[in-house]
Amino acid sequence: MTEGRKRRGRALDGILLLDKPAGITSNGVLQRVKRLYGAAKAGHTGALDPLATGMLPIAFGEATKFSQFLLDADKRYLTTAKLGIRTDSSDADGEVVETRVVPALDEARILALLDEHFSGEIEQVPSMFSALKHNGQPLYKLARKGIQVEVKPRRVTIFHCHLTALREDEIELDIRCSKGTYIRSIVEDLGLLLGCGAHVKQLRRLDAGPYKAEQMITLDALQDMATEQPQDDGEKGIQARLDALLLPVTSALEDIPSLTLDGAQTQRILMGQRLALPEQAPAELIKLIAGETGVFLGIAEISDDRVLRPRRLLATG
């Protein structure tokens, strides 16, 4: 069994902030990065469409246990809306379904529409080309077969939707939003409000949760590092340089408070046991730190009666 695991890849833990290129699926990028690292286990934390670029956090090893926190995190995007053309997928990869004349654009009117319809908590109908599932099937697979199903609206939060550029038939927007927000739906709805239709021409994700655009590394840069001619430190040196790009697992959990455990408490938690806390708990969800070593153990939930229950623990040994 040990030899089999070695053949499947090496064990490493951490998070890589990849700047996804256009023209490839998120899973396609993930598989390339996994091969470059020779990793046994990896997953991305929020897919981007092939057309989209930007922030794609990739979790390795134990970090995959905490991917949901990044999936649930707020995001920030830059998008270019092409006016006058509607597509079946609401983006540039789709088939054109309607063209209209673009009216003279008035900045004041656009700002008013953004403020009225795309600010705060809104109700949004996801695109049929989204990854949401209907009876176990992703909607985009049904859409490609020409199958239409009723998609229920969902509530999302737009923290800001700023107009950053205005041209004759294009609008650029800077959008910060909650999880589950579909930028293509915002663009589609804005185009309908303007009376000419629109689709997403470009989309770039800048931020995801605690991670910012300036922290990203491109796939090309990563491939260059992985194919450098080994120097005195050889192949291990290349692996070390790649591994140095990884952020710790705890970087995805910055907003969660910590609780330090003594030795006895640590042992009980590692055995999956509940733990009664004598003092007021800092929050419903906490990071667990081993007091003797300072090692991150995982996360736990705390009930109203101050009973700590492990939720996700790192593998030990």
Is 49 designated active site? yes
The separation between the first and the last C-alpha atoms of the chain, rounded to the nearest angstrom, is 16
- The torsion defined by the Cα of 120, 121, 126 and 132, in degrees rounded to 10, comes to 120
What is the dihedral sign for C-alpha 239, 207, 70, 251? Answer: positive
Of these residues, 49, 91, 189, 207, which one is catalytic?
A: 49
d(C-alpha 269, C-alpha 271), whole Å: 5
- Tell me, rounded to whole angstroms, the distance of Cα 85 from its chain centroid: 28
Residue where the block lists tokens 């969660």? 256
Q: Which of 218, 312, 303, 238 is nearest to 269 (CA)?
A: 312
Strand blocks (E) in the chain: 14-20, 42-44, 53-60, 75-83, 85-87, 96-99, 120-124, 133-134, 137-138, 154-166, 170-177, 198-208, 217-218, 258-261, 275-276, 285-290, 296-302, 307-313
Alpha helices in the chain (DSSP H): 2-8, 26-37, 67-71, 107-117, 139-144, 183-194, 219-226, 234-243, 263-270
CB contact burial 300-311 (16+ within 10 A = b; e otherwise)? bebeeeeebebe
- Which of the residues are catalytic? 49
